[in-house]
Amino acid sequence: MTENFLGTPLIASKHGAGLDALTWYIHWLMFVLFVGWAIYFIYVLFRFRKTTNPSADHVGVRSHFSTYVEVGVAVTEAVLLIGFAVPLWAKSVEKFPPENQSVVIRVTGKQFNWISRYPGQDGVFGRQDIKFVTGQNPLGTDPADPNLKDDVMISSGSEMAVPVNTNVIVHISSLDVIHSFKVFPMRINQDAIPGMSVPVHFFPTKTGTYPSNCAQLCGQGHSSMSGTLKVLSPADYDAWLKLKTASGAGGANEFE
Ligand SMILES: [Cu+2]
């Protein structure tokens, strides 16, 4: 199946093609079933019309054809489930790349934007604790933790960046209600749940600027939770991160 067949969104991550392939296999099966049932329906209307069948036949079907078709459909569905869906799911929830070889980001949804947080040059996130939470410090970062110094926090929600051809792990959480972090071209979509941090991983394969969205209706400003995810070359990504650090995002805060 070619990419973007019938106008499906661009795929810009490694696992995206497999996910779309499964979606297409299911749709092809549904298409075959639809055509099959439609043909059967028209056949039955004609074959059992009243003029040639004035009285009902209580014996019904005598051949095993319908049984074979039933078994065929069930086997196809089992192959889709066991052969494709389960392995894809296992890969996305169990086969995480090692964190020390990945770009790790923490993304927190709130009404109504996303806060993204990068560990900075040292690769270590500053400590967070509920006792530090204030209006100015909604994530509860520990101001005394030296690891916090170079963390980059972007609260505008409109902009995130990752380097191309690198494993990316995003830990997703929420400060208030259930949101959902969705980047269609990356084929990732994960609910942001208060009190939980749920990771997703992907491997961006194409540089570009892609839309991100909140995929759960989370309140009046839901539609304003759209942003962008930039996939940059490694050099551009480093420059971007440096710029963000230099622009005062280090250690905290772009909080308004
Ligand atoms: Cu939302």
Q: Give per-residue pLDDT as tens, 163-183.
A: 999 999 999 999 999 999 999
| Rounded percentage of the chain residues whose pLDDT exceeds 90 | 62
Q: Which residues surround ligand 1, an ion (CB under 5 A)?
A: 179, 214, 218, 225
Which of 109, 132, 159 has the alpha carbon at shortest distance from 252?
A: 132
For residue 218, the tally of other CB atoms under 10 A from its CB is: 20
The string of pLDDT tens digits covering residues 27-83 is 999 999 999 999 999 999 998 898 988 888 888 788 898 899 999 999 999 999 999
Query: Separation of 159 CA from ligand 1 center, angstroms?
Result: 16
Query: Separation of 7 CA from ligand 1 center, angstroms?
Result: 26
Query: Separation of 148 CA from ligand 1 center, angstroms?
Result: 27
The helix/strand/coil state of 3 is coil
Contacts of 222 (CB under 8 A, 6+ apart): 112, 214, 216
Query: Separation of 51 CA from ligand 1 center, angstroms?
Result: 61
Report CA Rg, the chain: 25
125-144 burial string, b = 16+ CB within 10 Å, else e?
bbebeeebeeeeebbebeee
Query: Separation of 158 CA from ligand 1 center, angstroms?
Result: 13
DSSP assigned state of 206: S
- pLDDT for the residue 252: 47
Determine if the pTM surpasses 0.95: no
Instruction: Name the pairing type of β-strands 198-202 and 188-192.
Output: unpaired
DSSP string, 31-100: HHHHHHHHHHHHHHHHHT-TTT--S--SS---SSHHHHHHHHHHHHHHIIIIIIIHHHHHHHHH-PPPGG
